[in-house]
């Protein structure tokens, strides 16, 4: 036991995952001082064990116990590193709450994160998934990621380019056992065009009677939309969107839209992005429930735990949904959370 970290054997994980499914970790370490991380990883009881770094567990589904080391980073701290009239460089620790960071930046007159309001989880998880919502992705404002590289046993700072980010993807997701993210740096402008053309933001601002919105207004609109559409994990277990929106070729998108004119289609760098929620709902899954595993009646993209579902039951339901979409539309959905 060290003051810098606390190590627990056979630790329950249900409160460390927003699905709230029963699972246990062989070892769980809560780290308060990141300088102790190399020491922790070289202990006899932790060395060579499978590793999982958890934030709030808002993007993970445990289908069984984890027979390795789970690390919780408890270190916090947001600060401005440098600024000029146009932009500001912000540093945030991996243990900081993401939504609190968004509001911390907005309170200081910065913009760029407003469309990412109310996304659950910690700052350290954001680069892994290249989190995105309402037409914005983290990669647009990310400067660097600080991490411990287990492969070489050193602290490193990766540029945005080195993070190799794309839609819900990054080098950290491709090599989950290699990197332990400890902080991020963002470059945020003081003034930039607002992104209002995605998924009802303009309509929400109109209902709020906001004629000339600023970044805070957009944040409030996005938060209202998310609260209305997505179930609260504190009330019913879920990990938000369970499947990625599939990206297909322009030709395939045209064929699908010809057969299904109502199918929402969006531009994407590598083709066209389809609405996974629409595909799932068209297969009749919205509001489905089997025992305590189900699909939200508010949003077809959200799988839920009504109380006592196991991770295996939720994953089994997800696979059935995926198979039905592939059978009906020829599209194979990919899960967004990490399945363990």
The catalytic residue positions are: 168, 241, 336
- Residue pointed to by tokens 């939309």: 225
Residues 219 and 106 sit within 8 Å (Cβ to Cβ):
yes
- Burial label for 134, CB within 10 Å (0-12, 13-18, 19+), is buried
What is the Cα Rg of the chain in Å? 20
Q: What is the DSSP string of 237-275?
A: EEEEE-BPPPEE-HHHHHHHHHH-TT--EEEETTEEEE-
Residues 75 and 94 sit within 8 Å (Cβ to Cβ):
yes
- Beta-carbon contacts of residue 298 (< 8 Å; ≥ 6 apart): 228, 229, 230, 231
Q: How far, CA to CA in Å, does 321 sit from each of 63, 103, 151, 286, 332?
A: 17, 36, 37, 10, 10
User: What whole-number distance in Å separates Cα of residue 128 and Cα of residue 165?
Assistant: 9
């Amino acid at each position: 036991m060290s003051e810098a970290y606390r190590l627990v054997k056979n630790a329950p994980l249900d409160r460390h995952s927003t699905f709230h499914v029963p699972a246990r970790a062989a070892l769980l370490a809560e780290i308060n001082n990141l300088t102790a991380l190399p020491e922790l990883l070289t202990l006899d009881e932790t060395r060579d064990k499978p590793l999982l770094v958890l934030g709030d567990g808002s993007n993970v589904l445990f289908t069984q116990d984890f027979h390795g080391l789970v690390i919780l980073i408890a270190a916090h701290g947001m600060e401005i590193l440098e600024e000029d009239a146009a932009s500001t460089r912000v540093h945030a620790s991996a243990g900081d709450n993401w939504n609190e960071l968004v509001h911390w930046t907005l309170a200081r007159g910065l913009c760029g994160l407003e469309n990412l309001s109310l996304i659950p989880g910690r700052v350290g998880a954001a680069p892994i998934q290249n989190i995105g919502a309402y037409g914005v992705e983290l990669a647009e404002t990310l400067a660097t990621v600080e991490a411990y590289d287990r492969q070489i046993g050193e602290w490193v700072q990766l540029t945005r380019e080195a993070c190799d980010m794309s839609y819900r993807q990054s080098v950290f997701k491709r090599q989950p056992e290699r990197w332990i993210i400890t902080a991020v740096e963002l470059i945020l402008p003081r003034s930039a065009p607002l992104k209002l053309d995605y998924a009802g933001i303009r309509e929400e601002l109109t209902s709020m009677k906001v004629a000339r919105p600023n970044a805070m207004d957009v944040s409030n609109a996005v938060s209202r939309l998310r609260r209305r559409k997505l179930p609260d994990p504190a009330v019913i277990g879920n990990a938000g969107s369970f499947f990625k929106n599939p990206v297909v070729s322009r030709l395939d998108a045209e064929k699908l839209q010809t057969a299904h004119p109502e199918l929402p289609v969006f531009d994407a760098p590598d083709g066209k992005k389809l609405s996974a929620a629409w595909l799932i709902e068209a297969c009749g899954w919205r509001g489905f429930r089997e025992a305590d595993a189900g699909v939200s009646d508010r949003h077809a993209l959200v799988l839920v735990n009504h109380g006592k579902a196991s991770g295996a039951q939720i994953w089994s339901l997800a696979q059935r949904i995926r198979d039905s979409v592939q059978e009906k539309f020829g599209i194979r959905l990919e899960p967004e959370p990490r399945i363990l």
